[in-house]
């Protein structure tokens, strides 16, 4: 149990591997980005530039012995990952640690959810001070002006099919649909005139679905839905999810507390904006 293995005599004790792994797994499963399989690259420093092709190579059939048509020269452009620090900590009393038999589960659930929610919020929307985006957080893929954006016109499957269609029209694979719990409920409750639940179109059933309440919901303004090809994004990791326990700081000594700290250094960039679709205003009042 945690009571016996969580702390050592040192002031900077690592959480045991099984619990650490559970927290990381929980965060991975709850995050839209990691659950969908967005590719990840290791960053040796706090910035890394990767290349992407601005325009795909064009090829065509040709007659035997005749000169082929030259394709547009391949033009590369750089996309830079700059690691951002996501960080949090909380104190737990020594009495609670000694008496709580389910502390493992509590810590796994709390830290896992917190990391997943923090990552998704930053990578989807960025972090703002008023209307100013903060450079210490990811830019937010919804702030990329080149992604497909659809203003919802209905509260059914139509706009989702359109979002998928826009990605496919740009030779992308619409593999994942992320929505909040309210959107999932609206779609699940769709019925025909006889009161029978509707079967979603094949275009939608072919797409993996993830529920994340980090996708905005407002009763008046409606919800955001994200449909995307995971390979259209890239996550850079300078430091993976790191969980530590501290029991030697002043607050811990004076008040009999133990500090649990979690941190990671990551970033996310868009490689293929036209392989990402955002639906806004889904399920808003009056629709």
Q: Where are the domains of the chain?
A: 7-54+78-282
Distance from C-alpha of 64 to C-alpha of 137, rounded to nearest angstrom: 55
Of 259, 274, 221, 258, give the one whose Cα is nearest residue 98.
258
Of 228, 149, 209, 215, give the one whose Cα is nearest residue 182.
215
- The four Cα atoms 101, 96, 90, 268 give a dihedral, to 10 degrees, of 0
Q: What is the pTM for the complete model shown?
A: 0.85
Local confidence pLDDT in tens for the 287 residues of the chain: 343 344 333 334 445 566 667 888 888 888 999 999 999 999 999 999 988 777 767 777 888 888 887 777 666 788 899 999 999 998 888 888 777 777 778 888 888 889 899 999 999 999 998 889 899 999 999 999 999 999 999 899 999 999 999 999 999 999 999 999 999 999 999 999 999 999 999 999 999 999 999 999 998 899 999 999 999 999 999 998 888 888 777 878 888 888 888 899 999 999 999 999 999 999 986 55
Evaluate whether the domain defined by 7-54+78-282 bears CATH number 3.40.50.720.
Answer: no
């Amino acid at each position: 149990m945690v009571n016996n293995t969580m702390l050592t005599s040192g002031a900077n004790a690592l959480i045991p591997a099984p619990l650490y792994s559970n927290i990381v797994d929980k965060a991975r499963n709850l995050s839209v980005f990691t659950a969908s399989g967005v590719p990840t690259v290791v960053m040796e420093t706090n910035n890394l530039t990767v290349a992407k092709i601005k325009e795909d190579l064009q090829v065509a059939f040709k007659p035997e012995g005749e000169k082929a048509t030259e394709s547009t020269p391949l033009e590369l452009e750089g996309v830079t990952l700059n690691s951002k620090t996501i960080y949090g900590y909380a104190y737990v009393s020594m009495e609670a640690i000694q008496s709580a038999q389910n502390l493992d589960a509590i810590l796994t659930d709390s830290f896992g959810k917190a990391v997943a929610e923090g990552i998704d919020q930053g990578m989807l929307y960025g972090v703002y001070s008023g209307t100013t985006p903060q450079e210490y957080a990811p830019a937010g893929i919804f702030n990329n002006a080149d992604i497909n954006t659809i203003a919802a016109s209905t509260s059914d499957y139509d706009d989702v099919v359109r979002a998928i269609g826009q990605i496919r029209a740009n030779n992308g694979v619409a593999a994942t649909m992320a929505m909040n719990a309210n959107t999932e409920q609206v779609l699940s409750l769709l019925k025909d005139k006889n009161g029978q639940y509707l079967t979603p179109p094949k275009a939608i059933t072919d797409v993996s679905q993830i529920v994340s309440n980090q996708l905005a919901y407002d009763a008046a303004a409606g919800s955001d839905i994200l449909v995307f090809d995971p390979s259209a994004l890239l996550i850079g990791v300078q430091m993976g999810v790191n969980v530590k326990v501290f029991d030697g700081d002043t607050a811990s000594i004076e008040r009999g507390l133990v500090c649990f700290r979690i941190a990671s250094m990551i970033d996310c960039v868009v490689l293929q904006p036209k392989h990402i679709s955002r639906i806004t205003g889904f399920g808003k009042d009056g629709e």
